[in-house]
Every structure is written in structure tokens, then in C-alpha cells.
Structure 1
Amino acid sequence: MEIAIKLTQFLLSLSLLIILHELGHFIPAKIFKTKVEKFYLFFDVKFSLFKKKIGETVYGIGWLPLGGYVKIAGMIDESMDKEQMSQPAQPWEFRSKPAWQRLIIMLGGVTVNFILAFVIYIGMAFFYGDLYIENKNLNDGVWVTNPALEQAGLKTGDKIIAVDGESIQDFYEINQKLLTAKQVTVNRNGSQEVVDFPIDFIDKLMKQEKTGTLVELRIPFIVAGIADDSPNKDNVKPKDILKSFNGKEVAYADGIIDEFKKHKGQTVPATVIRDRKEVPVQIIINDEGKSGIAYASRLIPKNIEELNLYPVSREEYGFFESIPVGLEKGKDQLVSYWKQLKAIFTPSTGAYKGVGGFYAIFDIFPESWSWYAFWNITALLSIMLGVMNLLPIPALDGGHVMFLLYEMISGRKPSDKFMEYAQITGFFILIALVLFANGNDIFRAISGK
């Protein structure tokens, strides 16, 4: 059932993005009286799942969910319709239109992608508001949960002040900013220090068996579950909060994990909070330093408030207030993705090894239905689709825009033969990128990383 929910969200999001992107090309083409021969969701290699001709356009759904397309008459595109291009140009064809009209048609898809992302963020600000924890309230710093971050120089208990010179206001911003960080300013034991991240930090991060977030809030040791074969299944219960261990007070989970390893093969006295009462228990540690007790590494804002751990700030916005909030969120995501893309195209960072294909996109959707997660992911994917389509690769919108700008500046239009060769070259580049990205997915699935 979980797989079905993930797949439904994935296909719904992908379909929405493709249809709206192609509408971005379709609408200006029709405005400029350019014939659109086909409008397809997914690719119809050899056959279609559905098709219907309305007016001069065939609308359809293909069977290969790798994208979609509109076939505009008189345009050298992925269809490589050489027969049509060999005929005299007709007034309704793309090639007969002024360069500025062709430029608007080509930029329509990515324009819609960016507009969609900003509209979604505005809508989310209006309907959901903001829940956040002010970074200044983390008096005892953060919990460093990934070994790669420790190797880079950060420590549990550090108060992260700024990343690359930009001050951190909201704790929930930290993980995203650390991914592309070069320098991190921290307050460590009362003094300010600057930690320089290695250029190949992302590569080191991907080599870690432990995945997930880089830092978390420092929270108490809360029992999340007990293994069936654990010797402690009669001693502790889910939701117990460990207050003391071996006579010492326990403030945070990160301070007790290593303590277990120091008491291998021992039975250690402890105290837990259960139903708001202190209960003495015995915790049995096996010879490997394990107890069979699973602990919570993160909490949702509601639980954080219930346990009175950190002040949770709430912001609700009216419709007009939501507009600047959503625009700012969209801008931040756009800048963040651009930084990640630059890292991917910088071989020394090793970020290219983390490029994922369709499975990676599918896997970011949650296993339970969440409209909040769906819209948040869809907005991010829309930004990604817009940015990727602007890359100056001939088979992408950005490639067509590059040649159109050349034509408008120089006054010389590239020949149809040149455009054919450029389209073929771009197609092979895209195939190579798709194979590489999905090959990474397969490698990670096989290697377990």
C-alpha cells in the first residue's frame, strides 16, 4: 500500500509538471498562430495509451513516463521531422515566425515552471503558515548526527551562527544550507570559531552508510521501541524518557549513546520518566554494547511543544501577506538548487556521484499521503525542471534559446542542417545524462548506499 501511495504522488506530480510545462509552449504558439501538431503527456514511442484529435492538434498520453512534448510545425525538435523541414516554409510554421516570437514560445515552458513553484509556495504560506524554531533558542547547540559532518569539523553542542557568512534564523534551514557550505561559523564553548569545509564534502557525505539529516535538535533519550529479542523488553517501555543512567543525570540522547558502549556486558541502574513519574529501572547492555532499545532522533513540532523542549514559533499569513513570504521561499529554493547544480558540475566536489534519476525522485515522496509534502516536493521539482531546461544543451529549451539569442544578436539564422546536427548531439548528451543519473540509482540500490 505504501508503494502505491508513493507511486500515485510521483505520477500525479510528474503529470502536473509536464502538462503545465508543455502548456507554457502551447499557449504562446497558439497566440502567435503557430500550428501545434501534437500535445503529449509522456512519450508515445511506437504507440499511445490514448489519443484524440481536436482541431489541428492530436492530444494524447504515451506509455513511457520520461517526460512529454508538444510538436510544433516547422521546428527542428526531438521528432526530427526532416520531410516537413524540406518543404517550403509556411506562414503557420515556427520557422516563419519572427525571432522574438520564437523566443517567447521556447521560454514559455520554464516560465510556467518558475511561476508554478512561486504560486505553490504562496499557497502553502497562506494555507499552512510557518512553524519554526528560532536558532538563537538552541542554547546547547545542535546534535551532529552524520559522521561526515564530524569529519568536516563540526561537533555536537556547537551553536551554528552562520553558513558562508549568512546568519541562521530558523533551525530548519540549517541542513539544506550545510549541503553546499564552504565555511560555517559556530559558537563552541563560549568562543566563536570558523570551520572550513573540505571541497569534496558532498562526496564524503555520500560515502557514509548513515543517511538522512546532518544535524538535529538535541532532545532527551526517548524510547521509540524495543527489539523483540532485547533483554530490556520488560524493563523499559515505548515513550519512556531516560532521566539518569548509572547515577548521572541525562540531558540529551547524544550524551548517553556512547555511555552504553562503556558498560558492555553490564546491568546498569537508571531512572525513566513514565506517565510523568520517575521509575527506577535496570538497563541490560550486551557484550557488544547494545541494549536493543531504539530511541527517537527527531521530533515533530507538536511533540517538541508537549515536552516543553524548545519554543515553537508560529506564523499565520493572510492572502496578501502570503505573497512576499512565498516569493522569498521560492527565491531561497532557487538559489539553493543553483548552488547544488554548480557543485554537481564541479568534479572536485564529487557531487556528481549523488545525481539521481527517476527512482531518486520517486523515493523522496512519503509513504503516507501528505498534501503538504506533495506540494512542497512538486514546487521543488518545478524549480529543478525549470533550471535544467534552461541548460544550453541543444535538445533542451535552453539550447533553442541559445541559438535564438545568437540569431537576434548577429542577425544570422543557423542553417536547418546545423540545427539538425545540434539536435542530434543534444539528444545523445541527454541520453548520456539520463543513463548516468539512473545508473547511479541502480548502483546505490545494489551497494545499499
Structure 2
Amino acid sequence: MGTITFLLVLSFLVFFHELGHFLAARYFGVKVHVFSIGFGKQLFAKEWKGTVWQFSLIPLGGYVKMKGQDDSNPALKEEGDDSYNTKSPLQRIAILFAGPFANFLLAAILYFSIAIIGASALAPSIGTVQENSPAFKAGILKNDEIIRINNTEITTWNEIGEIIVNTQGALKFYIKRDGKLIAKTISPHISDAQNMFKEDIKKRMIGISPSGKIVQLDLSFGESLVFAYEKTIFASTMIFQGVQKLIQGIIPSSEVGGVITIGKVISDASESSIIALLTITALISVNLGVLNLLPIPALDGGHIMFNLYELLTKRKPSDKVFMILTITGWVILGSLMLLGIYNDINRIFLND
């Protein structure tokens, strides 16, 4: 069942990505020969409105084959008003960007759905208080519930951290304890900490950690839209930063996951709850959007880079340069996929 869920989720994400390219291409009058989910041998195909819609043997991706644009033949040129290569650089950039944009849009829709169904978050309930910390000295105790900080009402644990980090000076905490409201003034101090990438940082802290209790968020339609927007932006930023840290060597290459890891994560999420599955699907969708925007010639970002070059210099890269860079891009992409699979297999044997 987990494998079927993985293939369905992946196919859905690929379909949405390629649909972005397809709709943008058709908007600008470009003929689309093939819309394929998967690569390799054709398993099922049906022609509709001049496009062959097909499923192929290897379900790890997909493509739209436009007139005048073919990654397997980078030097391809086809004339006519309905050809990709006769469109302006800005129009081509719009067609290329539409795929990743569709992934970001899908993620926002999924996060909005989560908000409507019933999003949850860590409750502002204290689990532990570090000895000799500002919170400890102020008399904060385990199981205290933080109701308000200064004039800001608190509903989730994340809000506490945001206020502590982004506010200067002492803070007035309003604590609920044994049914009573207690006010405590706490002065955060700068402490050593680690961010999500395990880098050592300095951070304003008061020395508390969450209890692990969960609170259900009762969001209005407008609040659900804000929730979806913020989650999509946060996920996009996190993945962009993750790629940057990987290139810088801060994140080791052994952390790169492949299709096996993705499949396991989706399978585990599907067995947990619909919210977990939607959350993982949204995160992978953002991941696809971000990775496709990387300036690797085999990806949308690489093609956007070529078109930006043409837009700025008023001339196209030579066919030779275009071919060399595209082949190089495929080598880089293939190497990353092999690295991911190698790491996946290593994790399987290490866990065993």
C-alpha cells in the first residue's frame, strides 16, 4: 500500500508541475506534442486536442514535449508561430517558470486544506525549565501555560520563540498555573544554540522547552490563507537555505536522500494520518519547485538562465555551448540521483 501511495503522490506532483508548463505554453500559443507522466516506454496514451497524453514505464518524473524544445536534442529548431523557439525570451521564461510555480501553488493549496481540515501545533505548555536559566530564576515551573507575553496573546509554542528572539529587553509573561493567572517578568539572555542546520549560533533564550502537548488551531478562512502562505514561504526558504548549506559543505553529502527515502517518508505519513500525508506532499512539492529552479542546464532553472542571457545580451548561446552545458547538467543531475540512492541503500544497511 505504501508503494502505491508513493507512486500516486509522485505522479500527482509531476502532473501538477508539467500542467504548469503546459498551460503557460498553450497560453502563448506553443504546440505541445506530448504530456507524459513518467519516462521511457509508453504504457498508455490518448490524443486529445492535438496533444498525446501518456503514462510511461518509469514513474519518476515526467515532461511536456513542446514544438521547438526538446532536452534530448538541445539544438532542435522548429519554425512557426506555434514553436517554442520562436517565442521571446520573456515568454519562454514564463513557460519555464510556470512548472515550479505550479508546485508552489499546489503546496499552498495543500497547506490551506490542512488549515481547513484541522491544523495543529505545539501548545504553549512548558515541559522543562533549565536550571539557573532566566525562566528558572523568575519562578517558571513545569506545566505552566503561557497565555500572553507583553500585550500579545499566545496560542502556539512557536509564537513564544518569535517574540523572545525579535523583542528587546525584558518581557512580561502571563502564566496560567492551577487555574490562576500569574505575571512574571523575564529578561532573556544570549545563549549558545544550534539552528535547524546544526550550525552554532547565538540566540536570545529564557531556558524553557515544550511539554509536547498539541493544540488544534481554529482558523477562519482568511487565517487559513495566511497559514498557507506562511507555511509555503517557510518551506521554500528552508529548502533554498538547505541547498545553499549543502553547496557550502555545512550539510554533509551523506544527508542527501533519494527516491527510496522519499518513498519511505510518504509511506510512513500515509499510515499516520491524512494531515501528515498532506504535509509531506506539500513539502515535497515545494522541494520540486525549488530544485527545478536551480541553475543546472538540465532543469527549468538552467533554461531560464539561458534565456536571461539572451534577454540581456540580445543573442543566444552558441549551439555548441548550449549542448555542452546541457549534457553537463544531465551528468550533474544523474550524479545527484545516484548519490541519493547510494545514501538510501547505506541507511538501509546501517539500520539493519
**Which residue of 1 is the match for residue 96 of structure 2?**
106
Displacement after TM superposition at 1:14 (Å) = 0.7
Q: What residue is the counterpart of 2:122 in the other structure?
A: 132
- 8 Å CA contact retained: 2:121, 2:157: no
Question: Is the alpha carbon distance of 1:415 and 1:90 closer, same or farther for their aligned partners in structure 2, counting shifts above 3 Å?
Answer: farther
Is 1:316 the equivalent of 2:218?
yes
2:274 & 2:129 partners in 1: Cα distance?
32
1:43 aligns with 2:39: yes
Partner of 1:195: 192
Structure 2 partner of 1:56: 50
Answer yes or no: is 1:359 the counterpart of 2:260: yes
Q: Secondary structure at the match of 2:315?
A: coil
Aligned-partner Cα distance in 1 for 2:17–2:195: 38
- What SS is found at the alignment partner of 2:128? coil
Cα shift readout 1:8-37 (whole Å, capped 9, x = no counterpart)? 321221111100100111011111111111
- 2:167 match: none
Equivalent in the alignment of 1:11: 7
Asked if the contact 2:42/2:56 (under 8 Å) is kept, the reply is: yes
Match of 1:80 in 2: 73
How do residues 119-268 of structure 1 correspond to structure 2 at under 5 angstroms? 119-134=109-124, 137-138=125-126, 140-141=128-129, 170-171=156-157, 192=189, 194-197=191-194, 201=198
Matched residue, 2:180? none
| Counterpart check, 1:422 vs 2:325 | yes
Change (3 A) 1:387 1:173: farther
2:227 is aligned with 1:325:
yes
1-side partners of 2:21 and 2:33: how far apart? 12
Cα separation, 1, equivalents of 2:239 and 2:35 = 29
**Secondary structure, counterpart of 1:391 in structure 2:** coil
Distance in 2 of aligned mates of 1:200 and 1:21 = 28
- d(CA) in 1 for partners of 2:326, 2:351: 37
Aligned residues: 298
1:334 to 208, 219, 236: 236
Q: Is there any run of 5+ residues in structure 2 with no aligned partner, and where? A: 131-141, 145-153, 161-186, 200-207
Contact kept? 1:18, 1:67, Cα under 8 Å: yes
Alpha carbons of structure 1 residues 139 and 370: separation in structure 2 relative to 1, 3 Å: closer
Within the candidate set 437, 444, 448, 2:340 is matched to 437
Contact 2:11 2:37 in 1 (8 A): yes
The alpha-carbon deviation at position 216 of structure 1 amounts to 8.0
Change over 3 Å in CA distance of 1:169–1:37 after alignment to 2: same
After superposition, what is the alpha-carbon deviation per residue over 1:404-428, rounded to whole angstroms, capped at 9, x for unaligned?
A: 1111111111233332222111111
Deviation (angstroms), 1:368: 1.8
Aligned to 1:244: none
TM-score (norm 2): 0.76
Identify which range, 325-334 or 391-400, moves more after superposition.
Answer: 325-334
Conserved 8 A contact 2:46-2:52: yes
Q: Distance in 1 between matches of 2:330 and 2:47?
A: 28
Q: Deviations over 1:236-261 (max 9, x none)?
A: xxxxxxxxxxxxxxxxxxxxxxxxxx
Maintained 8 Å contact 2:126/2:209: no
The offset of 1:217, in angstroms, is: 5.0
Structure 1 position 60, deviation (Å):
0.7
1:44-74 Cα offsets, whole Å, 9 max, x none, are: 2xx2111122233211111112210011111
Counterpart-to-counterpart distance in 2, 1:199 and 1:17: 26
What secondary structure sits across from 2:271 in the alignment?
A: coil
Q: Is the CA contact 2:112–2:227 (under 8 Å) kept in the aligned structure 1?
A: yes
Pairwise CA distance, 1:110: 0.6
Query: How far apart are the structure 2 equivalents of 1:31 and 1:38?
Result: 16
**Aligned-residue offset at 1:91:** 2.6
| Pair 1:110–1:191, CA change in 2 (3 A) | closer
Whether the aligned pair in 1 keeps the contact of 2:74 and 2:326 (CA below 8 Å) is: no
Structure 1 contact 9–374 (Cα < 8 Å) conserved = no
Aligned to 2:86: 96
For 1:138 and 1:437, how far apart are their aligned partners in 2? 38
Q: 1:120 to 1:350 in 2, by over 3 A?
A: closer
If the length of structure 1 is used for normalisation, what is the TM-score?
A: 0.60
What is the CA-CA distance between 1:122 and the residue it aligns to? 1.7
What is the CA-CA distance between 1:100 and the residue it aligns to?
1.4
Q: Hey, what's the Cα distance between the residues in 2 that align with 1:121 and 1:51?
A: 32
Structure 1 stretches of at least 4 aligned residues deviating more than 6 Å after TM superposition = none
Indicate which of 11, 15, 20 corresponds to 2:16.
20
Report the Cα distance in structure 1 between the residues aligned to 2:278 and 2:195, rounded to whole angstroms: 34
Aligned pair in 2 of structure 1 residues 191, 428: CA closer, same or farther (>3 Å)? Answer: closer
Give % identity.
34
SS of the residue aligned with 2:57? strand
Query: 1:118 corresponds to which residue?
Result: 108
Aligned residue for 1:32? 28
SS, match of residue 29 in structure 2: coil
Question: The residue matched to 1:383 in structure 2 has which SS?
Answer: helix
Q: Which amino acid aligns with 1:396?
A: L
The aligned amino acid for 2:12 is L
